[in-house]
A and B are shown apart, each in its own frame.
Chain A
Amino acid sequence: MPNQCRLLILLCLVSGNLRGQVLDATSENQEAFFRRQVLPIFEAHCYPCHAHNSGQIEGGLALDWRSGWELGGTRGPAVVPGRPEQSLLIRAIEHTDPELQMPAEPLPREHIALLKEWVQRGAWDDRQTAPQPTEDPLDWWSLRPLVSPKIPSAPASHPIDAFIQARLDENRLTHSPPASPRALIRRLYYDLLGFPPSPEDVARFVADPSDAAYERLVDRLLASERYGERWARHWLDTIHFAESHGYEHDIGRDHAWPYRDYVIGALNDDVPWATFVRQQLAVDWFWPESTELLPALGFLAAGTFDLSTYSTGPVTFDYLDRDDMVHQTMSAFVSSTVNCARCHNHKFDPVAQEDYYALQAVFAGILKGDIPYDTDSLAARTRSQLENELRAIKDLDRQMLFSADAQQRVATWLDNHHSATPWSPLRLQSFASTDGSILTHTEEDRIVVSGPNPETDTYILAGKISIPRLSALRLELFPDPSLPMQGPGRCHNGNLHLSEIKVLLFAPQAQTAQELRLVHASADFNQEGWGVERAMDGDPKTAWGIFPEVGKPHTAIFELHESTIIPDGSTITIQLQQLHGGSHLIGSFRLSMIDAPSAAIRPMPAYIEAALQQPAENRSDQQKLQIAAHVLTQDVEQRLAALPARRSVYAAGPLVQIPAGNGNFQEARRATPKPVHLLQRGEMSKPLHEVFPGTFAISPNLPSRFVLDATEDAQDASATESWRRAALAQWIAHPDNPLTWRSIVNRVWHYHFGRGLCATPNDFGRMGDSPSHPELMDWLAIWFRDTAGGSLKRLHRLIVTSRTYRQSSEVRGDAASLDNENRLLWRQHRRRLDAESYRDSVLVVSGQIDWMMGGASNPNFQQSPGAQLTPSLDYHSYDWSLPGARRRSIYRYVWRGIPDPLMAALDFPDLGLLAPVRGESSSPLQSLSLYNHPFVLFHSQAMATNLAAEHPTVSDQITAAIERLYQRSPKSEELTRFEEFAQRMEIAAFCRVLLNSTEFLFIE
């Protein structure tokens, strides 16, 4: 019975409570209080993370219906009606419990008071059902599957014009008349190539502006290599490509340019879009043999690199660096702002927070830095074979080392070795040091060094040799009781550092000395990080050392590139530069020469020497293996060295050399991808479960989580990470991904009209712009994907041959009153030259342009050491007559954090972030730059000189200038005025005015 009693009492309490609520005389007030005061607080501050329609129910707690807070989340009921002090919700918003503080930004005090009052008064809440999602998240113009729209039936014969005209008709608007031939050819040149046509090109087209002639012109321009140079920069903007790290240590990336050349090449070759996607994300997976394409991976490394955080805050670095790659990849290829889902599910688009971290996991196995690659894929194959052989040799693989072929090579080597001629010492005639060390000649042609012990020194020795040819020289170091730690160095620890060795041949009767080129160095011992090759690498900052093997003799051998004839009576001079400092100087040594194959002379480890001294029949099996390994190693290394040199590209991969300033690099390796965790509210201190590679769900045909295909070579592939990137590339490049195809046609449209059909090229989500012509966009996307096979050139051709593209850009009052923004395209847009087009055009019209393609970027600044690793750049003192100064702007060295003031004044973007759209500002500071910048003035002068050379009279010079800049002839009253000006002020002053004029800076 007592139990029953208790139950009854409980029931009474509960029902009493309920009755209290329902029958409360003030329930109307309660309702008003809830709706007007309480609900708005929930909606504004709690729903973003705790509501069905936000797609986010953090901690399992939903606050958008009554049962949500009654049941509560993982911590239990959130509200105890009538008991604010027991309600988790109230504790959370009061921020009294350090473990439970919600929202992160404290609510205003008055809001907290209102919620407490609501709980105190019984937590009236009549929201009885959980809200249903109001909208299918995939029901959005950019996410819907691509379905070919019907081309509107219009008199227009061109599909683009049909779509445009249909909308114009609806709004009682009409296309504008065609642009004049002169305006049209100018527009086309700028759009496709980025500079104006020559007066001859203009004259030819004006004489025959027929459709056929126009189409021939379009084809000619699209076939020009200048096209790739023009359009590459658009893509580089989109992905914030620059050639320095940004942030605190804004270090240059001298090997970023191969990626830029890759983009130019891919555009000129019209690589299909899907291929372009796959190459940039995972060329190493899809085309591992085509090593020459490796620079495509520069895509992933286009953005910033925070070296300081990389060094001191590795966890922070990883999440932020991957964020940059994710953001860039998804913005550039699918116009999606997935990075908005870093702290919570995307508020507007169907990207869950988990999806965002799945995308981070795609990039969890790569780092950014220089990666060597073979520009010749055949060499790459050979290199890979030889490297495999080296590994087998190192593992003392019996099968390989005892193979007939290998034993044959060993036998030959042993023959050479035994028949080797002896070394002949350099018979010294003079020897001295530049900084005060005293060199003394002792027995057996040795030198012992004594006397003052300078920080650095260079020994210079000259003498004769008795052999007719020379292929190598040997530097022997000896211990000596006079030296610290017995030497052989003069440093307190017995060490030495040989920075560079130089060998000069003075033939009798020769006017000058000949420096003999060294190609290989070897030594019996190399100090860690101080290998002997550093003594002949041309860099005085690096050197050979022998620590800790002091007190012992050592040998280094330097080989010439070929056996060189030494004419009788020649003198050989040898410089031993020891520039490291700290008296790392040689204490006792001897120099000798030889002409012999390298196999016979290279120093060998002591155990090989010992093995060789045994009669062949006495050698143990192990010794035979070691000898074979020694011989074959030399052999393979020689063949490796003979391969064409590799190039480096700043790109992304599991093993990279990070540019670390002053020509130094930090090696970085990711043996396996790092685990990626979902971060609660994006906070690095709050990692939740691990997330695996994937992306967001967009279509049933496109899985949003990636797994390695079992049919692939799992062993090999799981050891690498490239399959993750490859899977994302497949998702993006898939024909059923509607975003990809809409995104690229919109980008191309944007650059032809100054604005995309969707005005936010990087955001096709609910926060972005809605397209002005959605059917046209879909039609173009499908046509581009299927009919054009992803060919950008065919897309350009389609667009620029439309009437819509070719119409005049003049504003018509009637149309402007209806559609001032010209979203319906009743005219073409008048556009200002972007920074590159301006700079390139100046070079073209001044007759100075250098059309050289590709290769390392040209700095348009003087560089000097800065306060720390970032150099100091001086743009204003740059000499514009230097070679390279006249190349196209795409070959400029673009320093992220220290922009070129002239280009910045013309709206070259801040490449800390993606720049899918350029600004078109004008300001007094821009005017000052255009009027006074040395580049403009230099080329005003150059143009004047160039005009004078071609045209004898001022009048002709003026006419030619106007033709070059404006693609027309001067009117007679203009000519009179300009002549009058030029007579008094010089032609250069006139050119300066023209290079500032609106007609030059705007494209009709």
Chain B
Amino acid sequence: MQRRRDLPLDPSRRQSMLSAGSGFAALALGQLLLRDDHLPATEQPRPQVRRVIQLFMTGGASPMDTFDYKPELERLHGQMLGPKEKPEGFTAPAGAIMKSPFEFAQHGQSGRWVSSLFPEQAMLVDEMAFLMAMTTKTNVHGPGTYMMNSGFLLPGFPCLGAWVSYALGNLTDNLPTFVVLPDPRGLPYNQKGCFSAGFLPAVHEGVVIDAAARNPVPDLTADPRFEFTGAQQDREGLRLLAEINQAYAAKHPADPRLDARIASYELAAKLQLSAPEAFNLADETELTSRLYGLDQSITQDFGRRCLLARRLIERGVRFVQVWSGPQGATNNWDNHGSIPNELPPMAASVDRPIAALLRDLKNRGLDRDTLVIWTTEFGRTPFAQGGTGRDHNGGSFVTWLWGAGIKPGVTYGKSDDWGYQAVEQKTWCYDLHATILHLLGIDHLELTVRHNGIDRRLTDVHGHVIHDILSS
């Protein structure tokens, strides 16, 4: 990397190079030149946030059973007040108004109401900023999950992590820039669509990490059943490869892609060395393990992935996505059947790990430049589905942000008295994304890529930075 430090590459040039889409030198240079320590010092002041952890609750986490307290539902419980005709995307006609089966209490200086499902997060509400009037354009999982990740209802668009990777590059050569930690029970809705780089170069796609696998990073090492791939053959092979690739590049000068290939193999070797250490949770203390809930079966898996997220962030990964729950009818936040039975185990599986993650980041000083986002694809109906379930509802849901640049303990937006529709300070994914990019030092209007005739943005043609939740 050292030898490239002298190459100037201002962001506009980066953009024009990459936006041509037709590839060639620009694309081949890929992320080799995209490290932010290569950016000229003339750029804007150092952004507040340099790394992001996105916690995504698959299925549509119920707002009125977690953070959005609605006493009105208690009063109207059992009354048939919902829409007479089934709205688009509801899976069934609306049932009677249903109160939350959980106790709510106020917490912290900010007095935020939190249900009994989140006792650990409740202790940290004064550090979070709540978006209480999130809203979306759909009541269907696939498009909804796309929207919250890529800003579009349709497939094929880059997700937030990919845009961040594209705009800012990596903080380290030793690990991937954008890492995804899916629920081991299965992929979320849209399979890998929500980690996709869309029309951005493939290097910006989220790298799915399975920490328990022999190869946590795909193809990190060769399968030992191929006997010619021992350590020595690996090493000597790379040496020979470097020789012949260098000879080729020397014979065909002035093609930076050929140099980029040589550098890629050097970086791959570095990644091979550093990745196993990054993924090894064994060197964490027993106290840390307990803090994240690794000692209990219900929190073990999500806790492990939160801990891994911290280790990766700490080692310079730019963007980590942690998913709670796979797609499907069970083990996620899509609680059509029974809120009292299905939601508590999901809530318990994430509550302690999330609180531990925030405390741990703070103890290590990582909160100074790390942003954590808790979100989901939509909310749920205040009306019962079947007996005690709730249906999909894009009308209103909750997201919180924590960490660098965030004004602690604030609330932005309000839903109606049932939690059915956002009414005040309605907030779209566009605003959330614009705010996240802003914290990363990026103007969401400027980050564009020309694709099939349109200058595409993460925020489409919308988006306002929500200054009310920012510390400065």
Q: Interface on A for B, CB 8 Å cutoff?
A: 105, 240, 246-250, 304, 306, 308-309, 312-316, 320, 324, 331, 337, 340, 684, 754-755, 759-760, 762-763, 765, 767-768, 810-811, 813, 816, 821, 829-830, 832, 866-868, 870, 872, 876, 896-899, 901, 904-907, 909-929, 931-934, 937-938, 940-941, 944, 974, 977-978, 981, 984-986, 988-990, 992-993, 996-999, 1001-1002
Contacts and interface: CB of A to CB of B under 8 A. Distances in A.
A918 to B, nearest CB: 7
A928 B217 contact: yes
Given A306-B142, A331-B452, A917-B21, A985 B155 contact: no
B315 interface: no
A624 B472 CA distance: 92
A306 B142 CA distance: 8
A907 B270 CA distance: 23
Nearest to B254: A811
17 contacts: A308-B141, A813-B254, A870-B187, A872-B186, A897-B192, A898-B192, A905-B202, A912-B193, A917-B21, A921-B28, A921-B201, A922-B30, A925-B218, A981-B240, A986-B233, A992-B237, A996-B265
A997 B190 contact: no
A932 B221 contact: yes
A767 B453 contact: yes
A933 B220 CA distance: 9
Nearest to A906: B202
B140 A313 contact: yes
Contact of A760 (B21, B88, B207, B261): B21
Given A897-B192, A901-B218, A923-B30, A998 B140 contact: no
Nearest to B272: A928
B377 to A, nearest CB: 10
A998 B261 contact: yes
Nearest to A996: B241
Given A250-B190, A923-B264, A913 B22 contact: no
B190 A867 contact: no
Contacts of B207: 925
Nearest to A905: B202
A541 to B, nearest CB: 20
Interface string B181-194: 00001110111110
B108 interface: no
A940 B227 CA distance: 11
B417 to A, nearest CB: 18
Nearest to A986: B228
Contact of A989 (B215, B220, B237): B237
Contacts of A913: 154-157, 198-199, 452
A767 B157 contact: no
Contact of B155 (A759, A898, A912): A912
B301 interface: no
A250 B21 contact: no
A306 B143 contact: yes
A929 B244 contact: no
Contacts of B255: 811, 830
Given A913-B155, A977-B243, A993-B240, A897 B219 contact: no
B291 to A, nearest CB: 29
B248 interface: yes
Contacts of B140: 248, 306, 308-309, 312-313, 316
B249 interface: yes
Interface in B321-372: 326-331
Contacts of B326: 867
B278 interface: no
B33 to A, nearest CB: 12
A250 B223 contact: no
B203 A921 contact: yes
A985 B198 contact: no
Given A912-B198, A913-B155, A992 B267 contact: no
A997 B453 contact: no
B233 A765 contact: no
Contact of B244 (A920, A926, A993): A993
Contacts of A246: 155, 190, 193
Nearest to B197: A910
Given A312-B90, A876-B218, A928-B271, A247 B142 contact: yes
Contact of A920 (B229, B249, B257): B257
Contacts of A926: 202-203, 264
A315 B191 contact: no
Given A306-B143, A337-B453, A868-B328, A927 B249 contact: no
B20 interface: yes
Nearest to A897: B191
B258 to A, nearest CB: 6
Contact of A985 (B186, B219, B236, B270): B236
Given A247-B190, A867-B187, A896-B155, 6 more contacts: A105-B464, A309-B143, A914-B452, A933-B219, A940-B226, A993-B240
Contacts of B156: 240, 910-913
B253 interface: yes
A927 B264 contact: yes
B157 to A, nearest CB: 7
A67 B226 CA distance: 80
A867 B228 contact: no
B252 interface: yes
B311 to A, nearest CB: 19
A380 to B, nearest CB: 36
